[in-house]
C-alpha cells in the first residue's frame, strides 16, 4: 500500500514538473514573440524618423535661402538658381483630384456590379482582370499613355472638349488651348486607371461583408437596386470604402514614371487642364540626376519634403474622418 502511494506521489510530481517545464517554455516563447513584435514596431518608427530627418537636413539650404516663398513661388530656373515649388504642388493636386473624381465612382460601381449584379460565371474573370491592372509596372502605363492614349486624346477627345465648352464661362478656361495630347488631364486619366484596382478590390471585399439579411430586408420593402446600394451597402461599408479611396489617393500623389511620360514636365500653372504641367515626383525624377550645385539639389529634396507633408496631411484627414464615422456609429 505504501509503495502504491509512493508511486502515485512520484508520478504526480513528475507530471507537475513536466507541466511547469512546458509553461516556462511557452512563457519564454511568448516573451520572445512580444519582444520581436515590439522591435519591429520601433524599427518602423525609427525608419520613419530617419527619413523625415534626412529630408529636413537635405532641404534646409533651400528653405533657408527662399523661406516660405519657396512654397508660393512659381519660378523654377536652375540657371539663375531661383526655385519655387508652386507649379509642382499645383500639378500634383490637380492630377490627383482628376484621378480620384474618375476612379472613385467607377471603382464603386464595378465593385457593386461584381458583388450583386454580375453572373457568377463572369465574376471571377472580371475580378482577376481588374486586379491584374495593379501588377502592371508604372513605366508600361507611361509608354502606353505617351504612344497610344495621348495621340487618341489629341485627335478626338481634346478638340471635342475645346469646341464643346468654348462658350461656357468657367469650363471654357478649364478646357482651352491647343490640343497637345499630353497634359494634366492625360496624367489624371492615367492615374485613374492605375488607382482603380485598389479602390475596386477593397470596395468589393467590404461589399461582400454586408450581411445578406440587410439587403434582403431592403429589397423586401420595395427598394430598388440603386436604393439598396445607396442606403444600405454604402452606409454599412463607409469606413472600408474611405480607406480604399485614401489608399488610391496615396498612390496617385506619389506616382512618378507614368506621370512623367504624359504630363509634359512644364514648370507653369495654367487654368486649363489640357495644358502641360508637372508634379513633385515627376520634377524630382526628371532633374535629380542633372542637379548641379547644393542649392539645386536641396530644392529637389525640399520638393520631396513637401510631398511627404502633403501625404501626411491627407492620411491624417482620412484618419480623422474614419474616427468621426466610428464615433457616430457608436
Residue indicated by cell numbers 500639378: 91
Highest mean pLDDT among 32-36, 80-84, 93-97, 234-238 belongs to 93-97
Burial class (CB in 10 A: 0-12, 13-18, 19+), 305: buried
Rounded CA-CA distance 96/89 in Å is 11
DSSP 189-255: HHHHHHHHHHHHHHHHHHHHTS-HHHHHHHHHTT--HHHHIIIIIHHHTHHHHHHHHHHHHHHHHH-
> Over the stretch 105-147, which tens digit does the pLDDT of each residue have?
999 999 999 988 888 888 888 888 888 888 888 899 999 999 9
> Over the stretch 199-251, which tens digit does the pLDDT of each residue have?
998 899 889 888 889 888 988 888 888 889 988 898 888 888 888 888 888 88
User: Quick count: other Cβ atoms within 10 Å of Cβ 122?
Assistant: 11
The CATH number that domain 69-329 falls under is: 1.10.3720.10
Average pLDDT on 58-79 reads 90
Q: Where are the domains of the chain?
A: 1-66, 69-329
Backbone angles phi, psi at 264, to 5 degrees: 100, -25
DSSP state of 82: E
Cβ atoms of 60 and 298 closer than 8 Å: yes
Share above pLDDT 70 across residues of the chain, in percent, rounded to a whole number: 95
Rounded CA-CA distance 88/74 in Å is 9
Rounded CA-CA distance 141/48 in Å is 29
Question: What global pTM score does this model have?
Answer: 0.86
- Report residue 31 as a C-alpha cell: 516573451
DSSP 267-297: ----S-TTS-B--HHHHHHHHGGG--SHHHH
Sign of CA dihedral 203, 204, 208, 209: negative
Q: What pLDDT score does 6 carry? A: 47
Is residue 273 scored above 60 in pLDDT?
yes
pLDDT band at 300 (very low <50, low <70, confident <90, very high): very high
Rounded CA-CA distance 287/298 in Å is 12
Backbone angles phi, psi at 61, to 5 degrees: -60, -45
Burial class (CB in 10 A: 0-12, 13-18, 19+), 12: exposed
Cβ atoms of 98 and 184 closer than 8 Å: yes
Best CA proximity match to 191, nearest among 91, 265, 89, 271: 91
Mean pLDDT of all residues in the chain?
A: 87
Q: What pLDDT score does 61 carry? A: 92
Cβ atoms of 193 and 138 closer than 8 Å: no
Amino acid at each position: 500500500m505504501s509503495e502504491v502511494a509512493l508511486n502515485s506521489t512520484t508520478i504526480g510530481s513528475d507530471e507537475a514538473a513536466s507541466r511547469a517545464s512546458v509553461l516556462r517554455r511557452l512563457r519564454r516563447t511568448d516573451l520572445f514573440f512580444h519582444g520581436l513584435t515590439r522591435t519591429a514596431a520601433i524599427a518602423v518608427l525609427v525608419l520613419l524618423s530617419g527619413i523625415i530627418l534626412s529630408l529636413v537636413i537635405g532641404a534646409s539650404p533651400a528653405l533657408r535661402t527662399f523661406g516660405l516663398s519657396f512654397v508660393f513661388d512659381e519660378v523654377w530656373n536652375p540657371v539663375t538658381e531661383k526655385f519655387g515649388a508652386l507649379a509642382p504642388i499645383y500639378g500634383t493636386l490637380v492630377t490627383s483630384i482628376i484621378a480620384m473624381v474618375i476612379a472613385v465612382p467607377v471603382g464603386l460601381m464595378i465593385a457593386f456590379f461584381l458583388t450583386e449584379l454580375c453572373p457568377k460565371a463572369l465574376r471571377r474573370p472580371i475580378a482577376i482582370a481588374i486586379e491584374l491592372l495593379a501588377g502592371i509596372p508604372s513605366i508600361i502605363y507611361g509608354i502606353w499613355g505617351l504612344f497610344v492614349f495621348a495621340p487618341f486624346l489629341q485627335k478626338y477627345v481634346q478638340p471635342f472638349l475645346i469646341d464643346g465648352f468654348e462658350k461656357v464661362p468657367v469650363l471654357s478656361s478649364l478646357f482651352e488651348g491647343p490640343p497637345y495630347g499630353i497634359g494634366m488631364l492625360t496624367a489624371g486619366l492615367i492615374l485613374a486607371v492605375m488607382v482603380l484596382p485598389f479602390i475596386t478590390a477593397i470596395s468589393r471585399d467590404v461589399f461582400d461583408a454586408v450581411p445578406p439579411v440587410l439587403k434582403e430586408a431592403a429589397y423586401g420593402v420595395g427598394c430598388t437596386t440603386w436604393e439598396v446600394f445607396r442606403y444600405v451597402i454604402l452606409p454599412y461599408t463607409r469606413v472600408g470604402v474611405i480607406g480604399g479611396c485614401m489608399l488610391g489617393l496615396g498612390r496617385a500623389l506619389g506616382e512618378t514614371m507614368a506621370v512623367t511620360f504624359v504630363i509634359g514636365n512644364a514648370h507653369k500653372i495654367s487654368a486649363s487642364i489640357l495644358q502641360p504641367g508637372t508634379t513633385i515626383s515627376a520634377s524630382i525624377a526628371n532633374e535629380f540626376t542633372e542637379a548641379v550645385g547644393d542649392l539645386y539639389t536641396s530644392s529637389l529634396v525640399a520638393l520631396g519634403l513637401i510631398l511627404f507633408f502633403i501625404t501626411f496631411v491627407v492620411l491624417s484627414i482620412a484618419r480623422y474622418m474614419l474616427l468621426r464615422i466610428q464615433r457616430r456609429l457608436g
